[in-house]
Structure 1
Amino acid sequence: MKPFHRGELAVQERAGLSERARAVSAAIMTEIPAVAADFLTEQPVLFIGAADSSGYVWSSLLTGEPGFITVSGPSSLSVAATLSAGDPLHRTLAEPARLGMIALQPGTRRRMRMNGTARPTDGGLEIRLEQIYANCPKYIQKREPHWQPATPGDPREGGALTGEDITLVENTDTFFIATADTAGNADASHRGGDPGFLKALSPHHLRWPDYVGNSMFNTFGNLEVNPRAGLLIPDWTTGTLLHLTGRAAVDWDPDHAAALPGAQRVVDFTVERLIRVDHASPLRWSAPQFSRFNPPTR
């Protein structure tokens, strides 16, 4: 994979940040630095994204005791974890799949993004990485995890948000978004802000502000060529996971962005399918310490 595909280049140019993007592209590596290897072995969770066999893009997570992620080669990882049968990416990861990943440590506000190809192994995945890079710590809320094993509930599938789902959406301070380019190369990214930054305008329509980022526009670049996207909205206190898949569109109208504090652009997301699994994750997290970079919400 080259540092940027045509969708990313087009968005960088439209935003007037092509030179900045070229400068920061030097951070994209093909081999795992030693400091990154140490960071990965400390993590109890890995956030992921991929497209399923029908082209729907989903976001999910893998969990394990620290050490469940290990560096198995200069550009490869072993992950000793699997997804439950109710997870939307369970079948996808039973075969080789293009996978986007983000390892995020809320307690230290560190994160690392990785993209590559995952192949199933006995009890986990072997992943060959093609892009590895760190991201800035903006908009990450500080949290500390602890384990509370629980039995995942039966997955609830639907085509629209319920009132319970909308409450989770509008109280969240963090979600994850997965996208893919036309070749299926997937990317997973983090979005954070004060509670209320993610809005449910209807059971089918979500909106959020796009804040200042790293200028690479990996997510927007994928959406430029493929509007399908998947959101993962976790309930940090119960382990419940809300998976949404649909289509996302970037609104470049400066007047619309001006209505949302801190917004450079606005993103609209249309829900097509959802899967909610109560108590899906064994991780529970402490109350957040909000990032000082979060713009206010109205």
Structure 2
Amino acid sequence: MFHPGEVDVQQRADVHADAHGSAGVGDTIPDVAREFLAGQRMIVVSAEHRGSPWTTLLAGEPGFIAVPDESTLHIDAGLPELDPLAGAFTVPTEIGMLAIETETRRRMRINGRAHQADGGLSVRAHQVYSNCPKYIQTRRGDSVGRSGPTTRTEGSSLNDAQLAWVREADTFFVGTSAPGLGADASHRGGSPGFLDAEPHRVSWPDYLGNSMYMTFGNLLLDPRASLLFIDWTAGRTLHLSGTAAVDWDRDRAARRPGAQRFVDFDIDHVVQLDNRLALRWRLEKPSRFNPPARGT
């Protein structure tokens, strides 16, 4: 069955999606998914730690994600101690995960419960499903050597450099959850400049998707959320924790090309990790589905 938040959002959006949402996902990992996961270099993860939601990522060489059985993943990578989710999985914890292959624009979401095991994470899958590749930019990734240790800066608002980072982004990830219904990690993309950013708030247009409304359904039940921005060329990450709300104002949406509605994210905590990743990506081409960032 759809969870209550998804039902309410579908009704508000006048969508009748019998085959979508939580009713249309499985709880096992098929062979095609096993093969896909084995080739990945990163996986985005979302969970709660010390009362706040956070989204981050785990990375490694292809093969670092293994599927020992149809309901279990083992991720052979740990989080650095400066990461906002470091220490979150000492006990079984709800987790949302998104494996995304930017070279082919394929992605897969796996939600379940995770705990530390053998230097990495063991995840029991509860929801397994693929998404369409809309709004994913094609990027080619390469492994590089680290230039030094990871460093952390934090605050309660975005500084000028971080504001520029967010305003120029073409991709970010959002984490949400709902009480008793699990966590979720999702992708958002668009043309550079599609996000609005102020020191205490980030906003973005919601474009036409696959009508699953898992993110919106979770937000209706629990407004806490988290955002992750990756600096694809420098290996930095920017993590935001706060609360989000959907703005259904049609007049506001009409002023932005492609927007069906807006999402406003109010910032509580900011963590920036420099030299976080030993991976770099080069942009090959943006998604052909991206609307213009602004109207004329």
For normalisation by structure 1, the TM-score amounts to: 0.95
Percent of aligned positions that are identical: 49
- The structure 2 residue matched to 1:107, chosen from 94, 103, 108, is 103
RMSD between aligned residues? 1.2
Name the structure 2 match of 1:79.
75
Name the structure 2 match of 1:23.
19
Q: Secondary structure at the match of 1:38?
A: helix
Q: Secondary structure at the match of 2:138?
A: coil
Q: Tell me whether 1:287 sits opposite 2:287 in the alignment.
A: no
Q: What are the Cα deviations for residues 20-54 of structure 1, in whole angstroms up to 9, with x where unaligned? A: 2x223564111111111100000000001011131
Q: Tell me whether 1:231 sits opposite 2:227 in the alignment.
A: yes
Q: Is the 8 A contact 1:27 1:134 kept in 2?
A: no
Structure 2: segments with no counterpart, 5+ residues: none
Offset of residue 181 of structure 1: 0.3
In structure 2, do the counterparts of structure 1 residues 184 and 280 end up closer, same or farther at CA, with 3 Å as the change threshold? farther
In structure 2, do the counterparts of structure 1 residues 57 and 228 end up closer, same or farther at CA, with 3 Å as the change threshold? same
Q: What are the Cα deviations for residues 181-222 of structure 1, in whole angstroms up to 9, with x where unaligned? A: 02361100000001001111x200111000011111000001
Structure 1: segments with no counterpart, 5+ residues: none
Distance 2:252 2:240 in 1: 24
Q: What are the Cα deviations for residues 206-262 of structure 1, in whole angstroms up to 9, with x where unaligned? A: 110000111110000010011000000010000100000001010001111111110
Distance 1:158 1:60 in 2: 17
Q: Is the 8 A contact 1:42 1:67 kept in 2?
A: yes
Q: What are the Cα deviations for residues 138-172 of structure 1, in whole angstroms up to 9, with x where unaligned? A: 00000011011323432101001011101110111
* Runs of 4 or more consecutive aligned structure 1 residues displaced over 4 Å after TM superposition: none
Name the structure 1 match of 2:203.
207
- The structure 2 residue matched to 1:133, chosen from 111, 116, 129, is 129
Name the structure 1 match of 2:170.
173
Name the structure 1 match of 2:10.
12
Alignment of 1:44-63 (within 5 A): 44-54=41-51, 56-63=52-59
**Which of the two has greater strand per residue?**
2
Q: Which stretch of the first structure deviates more once superposed, 6-15 or 62-71?
A: 6-15
Distance 1:288 1:203 in 2: 31
Distance 2:141 2:87 in 1: 28
Q: What are the Cα deviations for residues 82-112 of structure 1, in whole angstroms up to 9, with x where unaligned? A: 0000100012123321000000001101000
Q: Which stretch of the first structure deviates more once superposed, 144-153 or 226-235?
A: 144-153
Count matched residues.
292
Distance 1:184 1:80 in 2: 26
Q: Is the 8 A contact 1:173 1:192 kept in 2?
A: yes
Q: What are the Cα deviations for residues 66-95 of structure 1, in whole angstroms up to 9, with x where unaligned? A: 000011111110100000001000121233
Q: Which stretch of the first structure deviates more once superposed, 94-103 or 230-239?
A: 94-103
Q: Which stretch of the first structure deviates more once superposed, 136-145 or 283-292?
A: 283-292
